Structure 1
Amino acid sequence: MFKQLHQNIRIRIYTSFLSRIIGSMIFPFMAIYFTEKINATAAGILLLINVVVQFLAGMYGGFLADLLGRKRLMVVGETMKLLAFIGMLLVNSPMFTSAIATFSMMLVISVASGFINPAAEAMLIDVSTKETRAFMYSVNYWAVNMSMMLGLIIGGWFFKTHFFELLIGLVLMSVVTLWMTAVLIQETYQIKQNVEKKEYGIIPLLKSYQTVITDLPFVLFTFGGIAILSLEFQRNNFVAVRLEEEIIPRTFSFLGDLSITIDGVRLLSFLTVENTLMIVLFTAIASRLIKGKSEQTIMYIGFVLFGLGYAVLAFSNNFSFLFLGVLIFSIGELMYVPTRQSILAEIVDDSRRGAYMAFNGIVFQIGKMFGALGIIVGEAIGGMNMAFLYGIFVLLGILFTGTGIYKRNQHLQVEGKKELEGRKGTV
């Protein structure tokens, strides 16, 4: 069935897999890079700025995809990424290293990603049908998780010792993905002619979210999502830096003379692989187990388990406890992700689904911002207090989410009564 998908879909899955497998060897560990080159506070600030830039670029990238076309914007973005990767390579060579120049290149990459992602998502919808989308997104989900898992395994072993070589691989892979995008992908969008320029400005962009922002139940539900997703982005920020600083390298022997030395970075890669395997292997099983049960109850239990697992990662240096923590939050993730998505679909206004789902994307961007801030806060208050803070975030997630659902149900009840009274009045 994969071969029956449109060529654009297959090429996009290929390019996404290739770029992620190399990117996952490097970018999840950049918090460690900036902490070592500068300090933890600066690392948090720099990564926070990077997230803000990508968020703004992504918001505007959606507009440009309709102005320039899908393929053209994707090619522009891939070209920008290639040039930025070459720049990162040059400023991290054996002869010259500059953390600030590296950060500047990361900003360019963030802008490029902000251009590529909305155009690629729009292109996938352009060339898919209602019947093929479920399969398309399923294959893409597996490809993303597998590429990240493989990349993290390799990056965990070689990031600190072979960073320059990994950057060479990133440049070469970027050349391949640029060629595949420019040559093999077909344009799917017919650019509209005679469109007024005001439709593409910043003010229309802001006005498009005015209706969504005034929907209090949805906004509260979104705040709840931000609180929970903020924990997930701690792994590659505060948790990564803490493990790298606090874990004393340990050598494990097996099969006679063979041995493995595990430091903080390699331990993080193993923990991430454990989480990825849990999600990949047990998503279908979890979906069957929670089917027909109370979605809200399962979601809240998932929130609690998710926060509990991350609380363990915030302070423990015991390998067994760390792997147990990942197991706990992975179970929580399997419980809350599908149930929250299902409830979200019921909360959004169907007549403005596009604007609502675009606004929902803020959950991930603000979550990343809190993830970057976690480095700064964690440096100041320590791991135990961070674990306590994670618990507060879980409570806020439950409070905001529950309040949003309650207010939406109240609104539906009022609307139902009005409709019923209107029908009685016409009899």
Structure 2
Amino acid sequence: MKLSHGNFSSLHKNVKARVIENFASKFISSMLLPFTAIYLVRYFGSELASLLLVINVIFGLLVNLISGYISDGYGRRRIVLYAEIIRFFAFILMSFFNSPWLIHASGTYFMMLIVSLCWGLSMPVNDAMLIDSSTQEQRKYIYSILYWTGNLSAAFAGAMGGFLFQDYLFEIFMIMSSLSFINLCIIKFFIEESYFPDWQQRTLNEHVIQLIVSYKVALQDRKFVIFLLAGAIILSSELQLTNYIGIHLYQNMPQQDFSFWKVKGAETLGILKSLNTILVVVFILMFKNVAAKLTERKNIQYGALLLVMSYSLMSFTLDIYLLIGFMVIATLGEVFYGPSEQASLAELIPDSKRSIYLACSGLRFNLSLLIVSATVFISTYLQPIYTSLVILGLGFCGILIYRIFYAINETTVEDRL
């Protein structure tokens, strides 16, 4: 039955639950992720911190790949539920490791690694469940809702994280533990299985061979791989805010007057993240009709250009008012780029290999994190202006790869005709 794509009440119960779960998950990630790099630099130094970030990414990547295959074999709900249980206990231990009774940076990093593995396990499965439970006509509307509510959540979390990070880490981790428990209840009681595979009993070697064969199919899809590569590079520009840019501000930004407050690097990062998320909510409402009139190609390419230029400039300046101005422009680009990029990606995914393709699409995030981790490492040997030029050059490469993708896509359509 074809449902109206603009009516929330007509959406599947899994999608409705996912909106609530996404709000809580975004709150958790926005309190933790923007300050992870700063935390590691504080206790381990820039060079070792960049290595720890790379290790985190590699483990997350491996779990991400396995999760798609397991999901197509065992179903979605069980994997998401187990991942949330593990994540909940990891947050409890992170609270203990940053409590008034104990500070244990190595233990905190290990728990961060566990949380990253759980995200790698559940993200492609959540995305697959969302697609399972929706029609193609509904998805752009659904992604806009998730984008809107996720950014609204992150607005509060980013501000809280920025001002609590220095002195109230224990309280931050306790809040995240509570929200993880709420997510656990949502998954347990309100989300139902959306995929029932016909799973065959195989030996371990057969599973490994089938895993390789499954991903080989996705990675031989040239258009899909090119689209992912472009998306990974553009996403790395955004992720610089909570990695290189955040560290740069934390280490080098002098105290400045901002409205009624005096702020330094960590507080400025929190302000920028909150401003970004608030403006996303506002700009989606302001520019949704403009974006709807443009093709997805134009939304993606124009939005990516604004993102790349703005984050490159932000990686160099230390003036809070210039940073805010560049963030406004970056957010405008994000509003045009984000929903169209997600909708275009969903159209490239065949129904029969949904989780495999979505797990491969998770490589985009892992590759982006590898890029920003490498940026953190090389920034210890470069002047800030040269690091900014590296970020700018990579971003332009991403835009160029998008142009290649659309040229191939147009050729494919013409061949079919």
TM-score (norm 1): 0.84
Q: Give 3-state SS (helix, strand or coil) of 1:202's partner.
A: helix
Give the fraction of aligned pairs with identical amino acids, expressed as a percent. Answer: 28
- Between the aligned partners of 1:323 and 1:252, the Cα distance in structure 2 is 11
Q: Which one of the candidate residues 93, 102, 108 is aligned to 1:96?
A: 102
Residues 256-285 of structure 1: CA distance to partner in whole angstroms, max 9, x if unpaired?
xxx422121111111122222232222354
5+ residue gaps, structure 2, are: 1-6
Alignment RMSD, CA only?
3.0
Q: Which residue matches 1:43? A: 49
Structure 2 counterpart of 1:165, from 152, 160, 171? 171
The amino acid of 1:158's aligned partner reads L
Structure 2 residue corresponding to 1:34, chosen from 37, 40, 50: 40
Q: Structure 1 residue 363 and structure 2 residue 369: aligned?
A: no
Asked if the contact 1:71–1:181 (Cα under 8 Å) also holds between the matched residues in 2, the reply is: yes
Aligned to 1:86: 92
Match for residue 388 of structure 1? 389
* Rounded Cα–Cα distance in structure 2 between residues aligned with 1:147 and 1:326: 18
- Select the residue among 247, 250, 254 that pairs with 2:253: 247
User: SS where residue 381 of structure 1 aligns?
Assistant: coil
Query: Any idea what the Cα deviations from partners look like across 1:314-368, whole Å, max 9, x if unmatched?
Result: 111112211111122223333444555566577x476877355553432222112
d(CA) in 2 for partners of 1:76, 1:103? 21
CA distance in 1, matches of 2:408, 2:304: 20
Select between 176-185 and 307-316 the one with higher mean Cα deviation: 176-185
Task: Kindly indicate whether the alpha-carbon contact (under 8 Å) linking 1:217 and 1:403 is maintained by their aligned counterparts in 2.
Answer: no
* Residue 229 (structure 1) shift: 1.7
Q: Which amino acid letter does the alignment assign opposite residue 60 of structure 1?
A: I
> Equivalent residue for 1:256?
none
Single out whichever of 78-87 and 350-359 deviates more from structure 2. Answer: 350-359
Summarize the alignment of residues 1-400 of structure 1 with structure 2, pairs less than 5 Å apart: 2=8, 5-129=11-135, 133-190=139-196, 192=198, 194-197=200-203, 201-252=207-258, 259-293=260-294, 296=297, 299-337=300-338, 340=341, 348=348, 354=354, 358-400=359-401
The structure whose RCO (Cα within 8 Å, separation 6+) is larger is: 2
Alpha-carbon distance, 1:153 to partner: 0.9
What residue ranges of structure 1 are gaps of 5+ in the alignment? 254-258, 417-427
How far the C-alpha of 1:109 sits from its partner, in A, is 1.2
Task: Work out the number of aligned pairs and report it.
Answer: 410
Report the CA distance shift for 1:361/1:286 in structure 2 as closer, same or farther (over 3 A).
farther
Please give the alpha-carbon distance, in whole angstroms, between the structure 2 residues aligned to 1:17 and 1:373: 30
The answer on whether the counterparts of 2:157 and 2:274 sit within 8 Å (CA) in structure 1 is: no
When structure 1 is superposed on structure 2, of 301-310 and 127-136 the one drifting more is 127-136
Cα deviation 1:212-256 (Å, max 9, x = unaligned)? 434445433433222222111101000001111112223456xxx
- Deviation larger for 154-163 or 274-283: 274-283
Shift in Å, 1:372: 2.1
CA distance in 2, matches of 1:82, 1:57: 18
- Tell me whether 61-70 or 273-282 shows the greater mean CA deviation: 61-70
Q: Deviation string for 1:2-54 (max 9, x for gaps)?
A: 45544443333323322432342223201111100110112122122212222
Question: What do residues 32-78 of structure 1 show as CA deviations (whole Å, max 9, x unaligned)?
Answer: 11100110112122122212222221221223234444332222111
CA distance in 1, matches of 2:128, 2:296: 30
Distance change >3 Å, CA 408–CA 104, structure 1 → 2: same
Q: Residue type matched to 1:363 in 2?
A: R
